[in-house]
């Protein structure tokens, strides 16, 4: 069984920074796409950023130039460095991981979510 553990959320003032981490634990042979999504109150979940196993990244237009996604394959961990935070970044942030287990099948899972609140 695989579990994802997120950390790093919290309350920050506008213009501040936070770093989110998400580590995947369990019988994982390899990870493929890893990413972050967010869901603000009353809104649909939306993509924030993704990163492939080859370090190709993709960002939502609203976070380009402010957020940076990275990964540590040895630790099966994905990070999201968030700078110049705005009140509209307030949301629950979920990590997403696609992985292959030792049965050679591919799976994907979501983290439990971590709250990010940006005050004005």
Tell me the helices (H) and strands (E) count for the chain, helix number first: 0, 11
Q: pLDDT digit string (tens) for 90-115?
A: 999 999 999 999 988 999 999 999 99
Which residue reads 């439990």 in tokens?
112
Could you read off the pLDDT of 42-96 as tens digits, one per residue? Answer: 999 999 999 999 999 999 999 999 999 999 999 999 999 999 999 999 999 999 9
pLDDT for position 55? 96
Handedness of CA 63, 34, 40, 114 (dihedral sign): negative
């Amino acid at each position: 069984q695989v579990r994802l553990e997120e950390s790093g959320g919290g309350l920050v003032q506008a213009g501040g920074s936070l770093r989110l981490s998400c580590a995947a634990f369990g019988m994982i042979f390899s990870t493929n796409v890893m990413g972050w999504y967010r869901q603000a109150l009353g809104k649909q979940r939306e993509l924030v950023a993704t990163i492939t196993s080859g370090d190709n990244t993709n960002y939502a237009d609203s976070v380009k130039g402010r957020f940076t996604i990275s990964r540590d394959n040895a630790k099966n961990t994905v990070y999201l460095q968030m700078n110049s935070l705005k009140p509209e970044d307030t949301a629950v942030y979920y990590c997403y991981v696609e992985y292959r287990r030792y049965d050679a099948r591919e799976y994907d899972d979501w983290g439990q979510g971590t709250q990010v609140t940006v005050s004005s």
